[in-house]
Structure 1
């Protein structure tokens, strides 16, 4: 699956198990305009519908910026009605990343600010180049993080750390972001994509059914009480236990060979 369209591209490896969603609006540092939000929502919908995909890497086409957030130049010309009309389009884009049914890794180089950092937060793992900068500066321009940032950052680092970062609008260099838990790994500048793809291939070697159900169990169980979470886990376990992947995994283990996942 390869798409050479503008604004957002989809690139896949030879087997199609690892897919890259590439933000490609370099002249605006990938600022999220209405058109780009639409393109991102379309791209994530296509990827989510492909049963062959096992892991996704979200990255930029250039190293200066992963994404600098909302296109404020576009919004500066908006009426209130325009902003209301754009809101569901933007929400669909961020929801598309968050709801990818397979593991997703953000490969961050350069700036990931505001909505750009929210796109990274919508992924399951964040790999950052050591010269990257992340942050949620929305209150400095009169709004709040509206792409999931108030919720996702709080769940990632806890209330007080998230409150400090949101309320101060502070930007974090990658090493400090790692120390606070705002990213998961820091690598030499320019190598975030390589490391993300390495992780993605490691992930994609595992059971497609297992990966999807593990993510489902973790996401659905994260914000419920323990008893409910264990019921969610049990339902997802049942979806794997009677699958072709489970039968193949056990057979491959017994026969001491690599599994050939049927993906069902």
Structure 2
């Protein structure tokens, strides 16, 4: 049984964490499979991705500390490269990604969610970056992605205390994007991905690129990035089809 499964649902692909017996704990093998699955999305027709869990009780409990307990220093460094590739593969997916979170999403598990563009979590969700409690620093992007999402103070609170945060507080602090009833995270995340996939892939790609690049610059430079994105979209066939479809009162058939 693979630790990660890639499901092709047409315009929406699903990357499903499938190491259920270990609560999807991140082993080297799972990380390698995750990298392969994320890279394989490029070979599909997907315009959005859902990152989900096959475990009904948890999204991902973080790194496999049992596996790490047997690693030498050299083993840690080798695993580090494997893990960095996996997180980067999710973060650099060519299309928007939506995490469907329930139960525990801790450490590297929450960092996987942070690598996605949007996080949908149900009322059972518990998120956190508890690495400092084990003498470790978040290494899947948490120290960089969380302050960009929720601000310095919230990020410092979570990272420096290592505390766990339940769903309602997570929504209030901006640690997740949408809070939904228990056991509906997968459905809600899929609906959100469907909404994204229904839009112009050219416009979505350029808008997403503008948002991401703009985070790392000042307003004036960000507005120039936006202008470039606007120009790329306005001269594309998708824009022409979008206008025609509006006039003809039909759904667009995006050339992409």
TM range (shorter): over 0.9
Equivalent of 1:30 in 2, 7, 24: 24
Runs of 4+ in 1 over 6 A off after TM superposition: none
TM-superposed CA distance for 1:220, in Å, is 1.2
Aligned position for 2:15? 21
Aligned position for 2:100? 107
TM-superposed CA distance for 1:101, in Å, is 2.1
Equivalent of 1:12 in 8, 17, 37: 8
Q: What are the equivalent positions in structure 2 for 1:173-184 lying under 5 Å apart?
A: 173-184=166-177
Aligned position for 2:36? 42
Conserved 8 A contact 1:32-1:71: yes
Does structure 1 residue 76 correspond to structure 2 residue 72?
no
**Gap runs ≥5 in structure 2:** none
The aligned length equals 256
Aligned-partner SS, 1:258: coil
Conserved 8 A contact 2:3-2:17: yes
TM-superposed CA distance for 1:182, in Å, is 0.5
Conserved 8 A contact 1:54-1:211: no
CA distance in 2, matches of 1:222, 1:101: 18
Deviations 1:149-178, CA, capped at 9 Å, x for gaps = 011111111111110111111001101101
Aligned-partner SS, 1:256: coil
Q: What are the equivalent positions in structure 2 for 1:1-264 lying under 5 Å apart?
A: 6-13=2-9, 16-47=10-41, 49-50=42-43, 52-263=45-256
CA distance in 1, matches of 2:255, 2:126: 41
Aligned-partner SS, 1:105: strand
CA distance in 2, matches of 1:229, 1:87: 33
Conserved 8 A contact 1:111-1:134: yes
Deviations 1:104-147, CA, capped at 9 Å, x for gaps = 11000111000000000111111111011100000000011100
CA distance in 2, matches of 1:150, 1:229: 23
Conserved 8 A contact 1:101-1:216: no
RMSD: 1.1
CA distance in 2, matches of 1:211, 1:39: 27
CA distance in 1, matches of 2:125, 2:183: 10
**TM-score normalised by the chain length of structure 2:** 0.97
**TM-score normalised by the chain length of structure 1:** 0.94
TM-superposed CA distance for 1:71, in Å, is 0.9
Between 238-247 and 133-142, the greater mean CA deviation after superposition:
238-247
